[in-house]
């Protein structure tokens, strides 16, 4: 089951998105599967985690379940350490545990750039535990493949323009 | 029947009949005619608020000093030779901002003084020239003495002034930062515009508050044209607890570019956007847009003839963004953020300064205090 979020990441790559995929599992049931959808939606906040969160919210709505109780018992499996934004979002929803592949040196919010998962933030939900390194090499390989090809939607960097 | 926003009778100009919500056309874009007239007089009045820049800790900190040895240059002709010699013997690799030689302050018998090395470079604390130059080539130097020199390049004028009292350094002045620190960055006309945009955010916040949301509103503006691109208010107590006002606005900008992820009509019609040009422009009668035309950051705005997410745009938000929203603005490449009141877990000054975080790939300017009292009132 846990390989599924790597398939999500591959699907993102095939669609020209940053290859990050995730799963949200509530009591052994997959409630959400997400992959990066930033370029598709022209919304830079549509990271895999945010997409999966929306699916869980939809599930709760359809099943008439209390979303607070559901998120408090949901584990996130994600190929890359959640960014600062997603880490804050996960806190706000009181998700207790995140299992991730490789570290996110550029944006990581679970220790790499900031430690949003553990910092003392009284008004931002509850801190969560992190387990990193699950099939990390695979996650790094996917990212490398993507960044080799460059993000076609990003504006050209100033340095490159001068050439 | 009453309008959903202004509670006035709906006779005509009904825009939407969706989910049993009706509203005036003018309300749907958040602008009502009489307000434009009000702005005309406000330009002449003074403002009850002041914006202060939220600068990085590096820009605000005290000048840090390092202990060093310096010596007078007795023979002025030896100066360039001494510089070469010392650069080899004691390179100040991590201190490129330090000027090795300075003019002597008290205009005594020797006109110049030179830094020999940092105190930490040598084991003994009390030294003579012989200790400093084991090979004995220190021609033209006087007795060494201890000085304190600035550890970092000054980033603001006030840091530069303090640093210069100790030892001369290079300083590349950022005129914007100097002006901002002195409160001279925005003129009356610009402030009038900023106030109009923030009023729009407050208006949206008020609507949200009535619906049981957190009283936070936000507006995204294209400062090159003064167009309001998106207006939104907090929706966290609706179906999606992550739809804070900033997240709503970011998605509405995506909609304005043919994308978007949420159906904002479903959320009780509480979010809306306006792509019409900003009507206040006419009333305020100002030729110059808020963004100076020579600003290079605008260049990255257009990709294949289309704007790229929030590049080049400004955000006006009634309350300091949380971590999630502040980072969402980094990802969205916002240009500037103006907020009114602080938030205990705020990420743009209170708990973090995400907009100045060096490791991140995008940075933006942040100003706080715009219409602070009005927004404080909103929160009460």
- The reply to whether A163 falls in a domain is no
> What is the pLDDT of chain B when averaged over all its residues?
78
Residue A108 lies inside a defined structural domain of this protein: yes
Residue B307: phi and psi, rounded to 5, are -65, 150
Cβ–Cβ gap A84/B354 under 8 Å: yes
Give residues 46 to 85 of A whose Cβ lies within 8 Å of B. Answer: 46, 50, 53-54, 57, 61, 67, 83-85
Q: Cα–Cα distance between B207 and B271 in angstroms, integer?
A: 10
Query: Looking at the domain assignment, is residue A157 inside a domain?
Result: no
CB B70 within 8 A of CB B145: yes
Parallel/antiparallel/unpaired status of strands B365-368 and B52-53: antiparallel
Torsion sign across C-alpha atoms A78, A81, A86, A89 = positive
What is the phi-psi region of residue B114: left when phi exceeds 0, alpha when psi lies from -120 to 50, beta otherwise? beta
Best A17, A37, A44, A68 member to test B by mutation, with max B CBs in 10 Å, is: A44
Q: What is the ipTM of this complex?
A: 0.89
Among A17-21, B13-17, B352-356, the least confident range: B13-17
Helix (H) or strand (E) run with residue A95 in it: none
Mean pLDDT value across residues B139-160? 88
Cβ B311–A155 below 8 Å, yes or no? Answer: yes
For residue B236, give both structure tokens. Answer: 């966290």
Q: How confident is the model at residue B221 (pLDDT cuts 50, 70, 90)?
A: very high
Residue A31 counted as domain residue: yes
Range scoring the smallest mean pLDDT among B65-79, B165-179, B258-272: B258-272
Q: Is position A161 within any domain?
A: no
Say how many C-beta atoms besides its own lie within 10 A of residue B108's C-beta.
8
CA–chain centroid gap for A13, Å, is 14
Q: Return the CATH number at A88.
A: 3.40.140.10
Q: Does some domain include residue A154?
A: no
CB B322: neighbour CB atoms within 10 A? 30
Look at residue A17 and tell me if it is in a domain: yes
A-chain residues near B247 (CB < 8 A): 45
Chain B residue with minimal CA distance to A50?
B242
- CA B42/CA B137 separation, integer angstroms: 72
**pLDDT digit string, tens, across residues B279-334:** 443 333 333 344 443 344 443 444 444 567 899 999 999 999 999 999 999 999 99
Residue B7: closest CA among B35, B18, B21: B21
Q: Is A121 on the interface with B (CB under 8 A)?
A: yes
Candidates B134, B132, B177; CA nearest to B155 is B177
What pLDDT sits at residue A70?
Answer: 96
Domains of chain B: 62-180 (no CATH), 188-274+306-379 (3.40.140.10)
| A66 within some domain | yes
Q: Which residues are CB-neighbours of B74 under 8 A, at least 6 positions away?
A: B110, B140, B141, B142
| Residue A110 in this model has a pLDDT that exceeds 50 | yes
Residue B243 near residue B234, CB atoms below 8 Å: yes
Facing residue for B259 by CB, picked from A42, A85, A87 = A42
Nearest-angstrom CA–CA distance, B132 and B138: 9
| CA gap B336, B314 in Å, rounded | 5
Domain of A105, in residue numbers: 3-147
- Does residue A43 surpass a pLDDT of 70? yes
CB pair distance less than 8 Å for B308 and A87: no
Q: Which residues of A touch B257 (CB under 8 A)?
A: 42
Residues of A forming the active site: 49
Of A43, A87, A113, the CB nearest to B261: A43
Q: Which two tokens stand for residue B263?
A: 């159906």
Sign of the CA dihedral running A100, B348, A18, A35 = positive
Which residues from chain A sit within 8 angstroms of residue B352, using beta carbons? 114
- How many domains does the structure of chain A reveal? 1
Q: Which residues of B touch A (CB under 8 A)?
A: 239-242, 247, 250-251, 253-254, 257-261, 296, 300-301, 303, 308-311, 322-325, 327-328, 330-333, 343-345, 351-352, 354, 357, 359-361
Q: What is the pLDDT of residues B365-378, one digit of tens each?
A: 999 999 998 888 88
């Amino acid at each position: 089951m846990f390989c599924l979020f790597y398939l999500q990441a591959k699907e993102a790559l095939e669609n020209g998105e940053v290859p990050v995929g995730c799963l949200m599992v509530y009591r052994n049931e997959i409630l959400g599967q997400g992959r990066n959808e930033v370029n598709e939606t022209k919304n830079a906040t549509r990271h895999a985690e945010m997409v999966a969160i929306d699916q869980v919210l939809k599930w709760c709505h359809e099943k008439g379940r209390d979303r607070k109780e559901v998120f408090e018992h949901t584990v996130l499996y994600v190929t890359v350490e959640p960014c600062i934004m997603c880490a804050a979002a996960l806190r706000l929803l009181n998700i207790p545990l995140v299992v991730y592949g490789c570290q996110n040196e550029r944006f990581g919010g679970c220790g790499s750039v900031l430690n949003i998962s553990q910092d003392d933030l009284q008004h931002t939900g509850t801190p969560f535990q992190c387990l990193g390194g699950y099939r990390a090499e695979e996650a790094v390989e996917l990212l490398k493949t993507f960044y080799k090809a460059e993000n076609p939607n990003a504006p050209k960097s100033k340095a490159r323009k001068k050439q | 029947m009453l309008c959903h926003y202004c509670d006035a009778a709906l006779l005509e100009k009904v825009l939407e009949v969706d989910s049993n919500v009706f509203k005036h056309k003018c309300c749907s874009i958040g602008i009502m005619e009489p307000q434009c007239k009000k702005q005309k007089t406000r330009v002449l009045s003074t403002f009850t608020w002041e914006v202060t820049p939220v600068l990085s800790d590096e820009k605000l900190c005290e000048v840090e000093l390092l202990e060093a040895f310096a010596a007078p240059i007795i023979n002025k002709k030896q100066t360039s030779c001494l510089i070469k010699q010392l650069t080899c013997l004691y390179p100040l690799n991590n201190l490129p901002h330090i000027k090795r030689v300075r003019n002597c302050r008290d205009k005594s018998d020797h006109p110049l003084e030179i830094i020999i090395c940092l105190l930490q470079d040598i084991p003994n604390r009390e030294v003579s020239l012989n200790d400093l130059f084991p090979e004995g080539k220190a021609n033209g130097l006087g007795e060494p003495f201890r000085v304190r020199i600035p550890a970092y390049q000054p980033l603001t004028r006030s840091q530069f002034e303090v640093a210069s009292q100790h030892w001369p350094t290079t300083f590349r002045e950022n005129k914007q930062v100097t002006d901002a620190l002195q409160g001279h960055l925005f003129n009356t006309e610009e402030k009038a515009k900023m106030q109009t945009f923030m009023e729009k955010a407050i208006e949206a916040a008020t609507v949200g508050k009535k619906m049981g949301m957190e009283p936070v509103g936000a507006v995204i503006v294209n400062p090159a044209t003064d167009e309001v691109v998106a207006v939104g208010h907090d929706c966290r107590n609706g179906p999606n607890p992550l739809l804070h006002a900033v997240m709503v606005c970011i998605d509405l900008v995506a909609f304005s570019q043919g994308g978007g992820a949420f159906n904002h009509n479903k959320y009780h019609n509480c979010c809306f956007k306006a792509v019409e040009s900003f009507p206040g422009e006419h009333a305020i009668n100002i030729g110059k847009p808020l963004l100076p035309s020579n600003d290079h950051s605008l260049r990255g705005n257009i990709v294949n003839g289309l704007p790229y997410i929030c590049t080049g745009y400004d955000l006006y938000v009634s309350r300091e963004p949380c971590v999630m929203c502040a980072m969402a603005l980094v990802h969205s490449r916002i240009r500037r953020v103006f907020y009114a009141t602080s938030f205990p877990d705020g990420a743009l000054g209170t708990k973090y300064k995400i907009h100045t975080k060096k490791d991140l790939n995008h940075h933006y300017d942040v100003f706080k205090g715009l219409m602070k009292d009005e927004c404080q009132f909103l929160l009460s």
